[in-house]
Amino acid sequence: MKIHDWFDGPYPARVRIALAEKNMLSRIEFVSVDLWAGEHKTPEFLAINYSGTLPVLELNDGTLIAECTAITQYLDALDDSPTLTGQTPVEKGLIHMMTKRAEIEFLDAVSVYFHHATPGLGPHVELYQNAEWGNRMRDKAIRGMRYFDGLLKRQPFVAGGTFSMADITVLAGMIFASLVKLDVPDDCEALREWHARMQQRPSVQEWRAMVARGAPQR
């Protein structure tokens, strides 16, 4: 299997952390797509993923699966022992809901802020920017942090009692927020405590080590 991604991207982090959780990293060949050079917007890459985003999973038979949630669901189902996307119907429903909420209310909002209200990936990639919209999404992301803080006051993980894809998605939001210097409000103590706890997970440490190794050589 191949993953087309960029080594330190927040969305790619979602799949890399999921792979580490599943002990599957050694089964993957990573194909580097340089976001900063705009490689994800070339006709060759758009043929791989119409949306022009990373990551994309390519199976050995050529099947292409984009979208972090879909990729994680596929990987989690591979070993007949789903640990990230839920086992019971209610777990599956709650994890899917909270993953989507983490995207809409936090991670995607930080991403829009980055692409619209900061230089983003540079003028050769950011062909249209709307700073007012970007700044509104920054405020939405901060409201999202407060929402997850409130949730984590009541339960240890984003979707309830166990670690899941929803935690990985909020974690990606925190990774992106840190890259764009969007601080977690001081009073979000539960979110900060959860974030510190997430840093202790071997999967997150493995992801950090991959990032520390830097951009792949061509």
Interface with ligand GTS by CB under 6 A: which residues?
Answer: 6, 9-12, 35, 40, 53-54, 67-68, 111, 121, 125
Q: Which is nearer to ligand GTS, 42 or 87 (CB)?
A: 42
User: Closest approach of Cβ 72 to ligand GTS, in Å?
Assistant: 9
User: Closest approach of Cβ 153 to ligand GTS, in Å?
Assistant: 27
User: Closest approach of Cβ 125 to ligand GTS, in Å?
Assistant: 6
Q: Which is nearer to ligand GTS, 1 or 190 (CB)?
A: 1
User: Closest approach of Cβ 18 to ligand GTS, in Å?
Assistant: 12
Q: Which is nearer to ligand GTS, 128 or 196 (CB)?
A: 128
| Strand order from edge to edge, sheet including 2-5 | 29-32, 2-5, 56-58, 64-66
Q: Which is nearer to ligand GTS, 111 or 164 (CB)?
A: 111
User: Closest approach of Cβ 98 to ligand GTS, in Å?
Assistant: 15
For residues 204 and 118, what is the distance between their CA atoms, to the nearest angstrom? Answer: 27
CB contact burial 4-18 (16+ within 10 A = b; e otherwise): bbbbbbbbbbbbbbb
φ, ψ (nearest 5 deg) of residue 4: -90, 115
User: Closest approach of Cβ 21 to ligand GTS, in Å?
Assistant: 17
Q: Which is nearer to ligand GTS, 142 or 175 (CB)?
A: 175
Give every CB contact of residue 41 below 8 A, 6+ residues apart in sequence.
52, 125
Q: Which is nearer to ligand GTS, 42 or 155 (CB)?
A: 42
* Distances in whole angstroms, Cα of residue 112 to Cα of each of 40, 57, 117, 132, 178: 17, 23, 8, 11, 15
For residues 144 and 104, what is the distance between their CA atoms, to the nearest angstrom? Answer: 9
The tokens for 128 are 């249209």
Cβ neighbours around 38 below 10 Å, total: 17
Question: Which residue is at the shortest CB distance from ligand GTS?
Answer: 9
Angle at 117 between CA 111 and CA 148, to 5 degrees: 40
